[in-house]
Amino acid sequence: MKLSLLFRSLMALLLLAAASVVNVAHAQGQEQADEMAKAERSARAREQAKELEKAGTAKTPPATVPLDLANVWILDLSNGGTVKIQLRPDVAPNHVARIKELTGRNFYNGLIFHRVIDGFMAQGGDPKGDGTGGSDLPDLQAEFSDLPHVRGAVSMARAASENSANSQFFIMLMPRLQLDRKYTVLGRVIEGMAYVDAIEKGEPAANPTKIVRAYMASTGG
């Protein structure tokens, strides 16, 4: 009887030990599996980060480019100031070409800034002076990019269609990033921003600021 009881106790201890070994092995196996899964997730995350970095580098244009007088647009304003704008043909070649063509025709000379909203932007380039006009050239296809609508950015105005920019443009007085990739940014003010700030406010203003003369720096006016 005592031997049988001892045997049963011994068997119980052996079974308990075996169960402990199994539990430890299972825990170790689960820990190894978790570590492997974690390593795989980390590897995938690194690969995705590399892909995003490559895509971003390829898509995002540089914030600045070397100064080229052939791409510096100058506006002499009726408030006595001169504004210099660096155009970006690397980002919006067709829009820059349009600005240059119309400037060569003296199209912008004498036009007013017809829509100027304090803390937002100053818009001009409309021969009618009310926001409904444009040139006799066809409308442009959008050239949206990752250049942001920050203070001093120059962007093309348009109607409801994304592909309706023609001659009108606006200069940002303050950042408005919700406009990004909805309007074509074609340049940025590099000199004379104080004179942009001084453009008369209104839609239009009672005494609107005019573009006395527009010309490219390379031509000297």
Residue position matching structure tokens 């239009």: 204
Domain ends where: 21, 40, 59? 59
Residue ending a domain, among 27, 59, 91, is 59
Residue 16: the pLDDT is: 63
Burial (Cβ within 10 Å: 0-12, 13-18, ≥19) of residue 165: buried
Q: Which of 13, 30, 59 delimits the end of a domain?
A: 59
Cβ(167)–Cβ(125) below 8 Å: yes
The answer to whether residues 111 and 133 belong to one domain is yes
Which residue range(s) make up the domain with 24? 1-59
Q: What is the pLDDT of residue 59?
A: 57
> 3-state SS of 4-57?
HHHHHHHHHHHHHHHHHHHHHHHHHHHHHHHHHHHHHHHHHHHHHHHHHHHHHH
Judged on CB neighbours under 10 Å (0-12, 13-18, 19+), 217 is middle
Tokens of 126: 């409309």
- 90 and 47 part of one domain: no
Q: How many structural domains is the chain composed of? A: 2
- Considering the domain architecture, whether residues 7 and 93 belong to the same structural domain is answered as no
Does 123 reside within a domain?
yes
pLDDT at 199: 98
pLDDT in tens, 76-133: 999 999 999 999 999 999 999 999 999 999 999 999 999 999 999 999 999 999 999 9
Indicate the pLDDT class of residue 4, thresholds 50, 70 and 90. low
Same domain (yes/no): 96, 197: yes
Closest CA to 199 of 127, 108, 102, 123: 123
Closest by alpha carbon to 143, among 200, 78, 177, 187? 187
Please report whether residue 64 resides in a domain: no
110 falls within a domain: yes
pTM over 0.75: no
Q: Choose from 26-30, 43-47, 203-207 the range with maximum mean pLDDT.
A: 203-207
Structure tokens that stand for 178 in this block: 């919700």
User: Is 221 inside a domain boundary?
Assistant: no
Assess whether 131 and 202 both reside in one domain.
yes
Name the 3-class secondary structure at 194. Answer: helix
Can you tell me the distance from the alpha carbon of 20 to that of 24, in angstroms, rounded to the nearest whole number?
6
Is there a single domain that holds both residue 80 and residue 182? yes
Question: CA Rg, the chain, in Å?
Answer: 33
